[in-house]
Amino acid sequence: MTLEEYRPTAKHWLEKDAISKNMPDRFPLLQEMRLANEVVWINPDKCPMAEISAGDCELSMADINDAEARLQRFAPFIMHCFPETKKQGGLIESALTDIPEMKNRMAEKYGCRLQGRLLLKQDSKLAIAGSVKARGGIYEVLKHTEELALAEGLLKEGDNYAKLAEPEYREFFGRHKIQVGSTGNLGMSIGIMGAAIGYQVIVHMSADAKQWKKDLLRSHGVTVMEYESDYGEAVENGRKQSDKDPMSYFVDDENSRNLFLGYAVAAKRLVGQLKEKRISVDAGHPLFVYIPCGVGGVPGGITFGLKQVFGDDVHCFFAEPVQAPCMLLGMGTGLHHDISVQDIGLSGSTEADGLAVGRPSGFVGKMMEPLLDGEFTIQDEKMHGFLRELEETENIFLEPSACAAFQGALKIENAPETLEYLDRNKLIDRMAAASHIVWATGGSLVPEEVREEYHVRRF
Ligand SMILES: *Cc1c(COP(=O)(O)O)cnc(C)c1O
């Protein structure tokens, strides 16, 4: 059954609240997901890049190039406001590091049969926001800033953007508001950058957001609105508040093309980093990338970029908590934003605050239909295991959300579903020459006391 044929049926189950009784053949994992068991999903709708016509997709490489150029224009301003970015010329970029000791530990402890090179993309250490949100969130604030300033005649082409830090500009931006709904990290990236430019920033935080993230934002002069409900409601309220105010701009995590493109730029930067490490990516040297997924913007944007750059030689997988596998549910049923994890009886709550999202982005899910290779879900307890093991073996600290991606590296050569995928794609013989990137999405701003808690806590 194709996705197009399946979608109305899935919708029917949902309306009839009969998902549990009518096991859909096309998506048999649903039952396991309801039980909060870990699952491995291979996307049946993935297409070779050659079969995807440019017209099918609203975004292209040109949009990524445009975003990259915009970040470059802002580099002098970023260096000025955040001197820690000077050594990278005002670009916010993270290291790609081999983690051989972690690979050994995964082999010993979990029987992980991963053959190739295991690397960590340390977005956890990105400047300014300490998470992958420093890519999309900051990009979106800058894009909005450029638009406002150009429209007002405060900037013109060829200007040195460092001048935006001067008082007259700050005063102008101070009359404008930016609002965003967030589980924590997006709010931090928008809040810190927004405050640096001079905006009034209001962050609408869901119940899952950690206290230290709220405290840190308030210390930057950001207004934090707290909600007792989940992320979806924080977003809706934020949107309503913002829409009422003509001076307010709402960053829409679920639908923002800007956020998405900000994340996608990571792919272009990775090309040089792989070269430096003498890692080839071609048919004989496949690249596997595992990225934690919440609403979908982060892993979707990065995957979109990687597929543009490396084509069919890159294999992208998302990882989600067993209680909040919203993207997998949306893509598997084809219902995307029209289904939530609560609809199948899951709580949506997880220690991985960055991934505590019940309803996926429909925009991202649809973009991923022909691109994404698959998904893994992971129990919270296991994320904490990876968190401790990475610290013990490599002395690198990540927040729990970021550790979800290790599930991909663990399973790729161990699970029957992925072994079948590798076989079908004629990759089995190439796995010794493969590289695997675990995308570490956050952690460096986590305060010491909170880290301690993660160390001692057993589940
Ligand atoms: C936001 C976030 C993600 C996932 O990003 P989405 O755009 O919500 O899918 C993953 N890890 C961390 C640490 C995050 O903050």
pLDDT at position 2 over 50? yes
In ligand 1, the atom with minimum distance to the C-alpha of 296 is 9
pLDDT at position 7 over 90? no
What is residue 135's predicted lDDT score, i.e. its pLDDT?
96
pLDDT at position 300 over 50? yes
| Residue 448 CB coordination number (10 Å) | 8
pLDDT at position 355 over 70? yes
Q: Output 8 or 82, whichever has higher pLDDT.
A: 82
Pairwise CA distance, residues 304 & 311, whole Å = 10
Pocket test for ligand 1, best of 401, 403, 407 (most atoms within 8 A of CB): 401
Q: Output 317 or 454, whichever has higher pLDDT.
A: 317
Task: Give the global pTM.
Answer: 0.94
Instruction: Give the model confidence (pLDDT) of 118-139 as tens digits.
Output: 999 999 999 999 999 999 999 9
Average predicted confidence (pLDDT) for the chain: 93
121 lines ligand 1 (CB under 6 A): no
What is residue 377's predicted lDDT score, i.e. its pLDDT?
98
Instruction: Give the model confidence (pLDDT) of 81-90 as tens digits.
Output: 999 999 999 9
Which residue type occupies 89? G
* Region 198-215 average pLDDT: 90
252 lines ligand 1 (CB under 6 A): no
358 contacts 405 by C-beta, under 8 angstroms: no
What is residue 138's predicted lDDT score, i.e. its pLDDT?
96
> Would the CA dihedral through 280, 281, 282, 283 be positive or negative?
positive
Pocket test for ligand 1, best of 123, 124, 126, 132 (most atoms within 8 A of CB): 132
What is residue 209's predicted lDDT score, i.e. its pLDDT?
82
pLDDT at position 385 over 60? yes
136 lines ligand 1 (CB under 6 A): no
Distance 306 CA to ligand 1 centre (A): 17
Contacts of 372 (CB under 8 A, 6+ apart): 43, 46, 303, 316, 317, 318, 331
Distance 351 CA to ligand 1 centre (A): 13
* Region 314-329 average pLDDT: 98
Query: First-to-last CA distance in the chain?
Result: 40
* Region 290-298 average pLDDT: 97
In ligand 1, the atom with minimum distance to the C-alpha of 399 is 13
Q: Torsion angle of alpha carbons 411, 414, 416, 418, nearest 10°? A: 50
In ligand 1, the atom with minimum distance to the C-alpha of 442 is 13
Distance 184 CA to ligand 1 centre (A): 9
Pocket test for ligand 1, best of 94, 121, 298, 387 (most atoms within 8 A of CB): 298
Residue closest by Cα to atom 8 of ligand 1:
294
| Residue 20 CB coordination number (10 Å) | 12
Pairwise CA distance, residues 177 & 202, whole Å = 8
What is residue 94's predicted lDDT score, i.e. its pLDDT?
97
The residue count for the chain: 459
361 lines ligand 1 (CB under 6 A): no
pLDDT band at 16 (very low <50, low <70, confident <90, very high): low
Pairwise CA distance, residues 252 & 211, whole Å = 23
299 lines ligand 1 (CB under 6 A): yes
What is residue 332's predicted lDDT score, i.e. its pLDDT?
93
In ligand 1, the atom with minimum distance to the C-alpha of 299 is 9
What is residue 25's predicted lDDT score, i.e. its pLDDT?
66
Instruction: Give the model confidence (pLDDT) of 26-71 as tens digits.
Output: 788 988 999 999 999 999 999 999 998 877 789 999 999 999 999 9
* Region 311-328 average pLDDT: 98
Which residue type occupies 227? Y
Distance 90 CA to ligand 1 centre (A): 23
pLDDT at position 421 over 50? yes
441 contacts 124 by C-beta, under 8 angstroms: yes
185 lines ligand 1 (CB under 6 A): yes
124 lines ligand 1 (CB under 6 A): no
What is residue 122's predicted lDDT score, i.e. its pLDDT?
98
What is residue 17's predicted lDDT score, i.e. its pLDDT?
55
pLDDT band at 22 (very low <50, low <70, confident <90, very high): low
pLDDT at position 156 over 60? yes
296 lines ligand 1 (CB under 6 A): yes
pLDDT band at 364 (very low <50, low <70, confident <90, very high): very high
pLDDT at position 436 over 50? yes
What is residue 459's predicted lDDT score, i.e. its pLDDT?
47
Half-sphere exposure of 437 (CA within 13 A, CB side): 30
* Region 397-426 average pLDDT: 97
293 lines ligand 1 (CB under 6 A): yes
Instruction: Give the model confidence (pLDDT) of 336-349 as tens digits.
Output: 999 999 999 999 99
What is residue 37's predicted lDDT score, i.e. its pLDDT?
97
Distance 419 CA to ligand 1 centre (A): 27
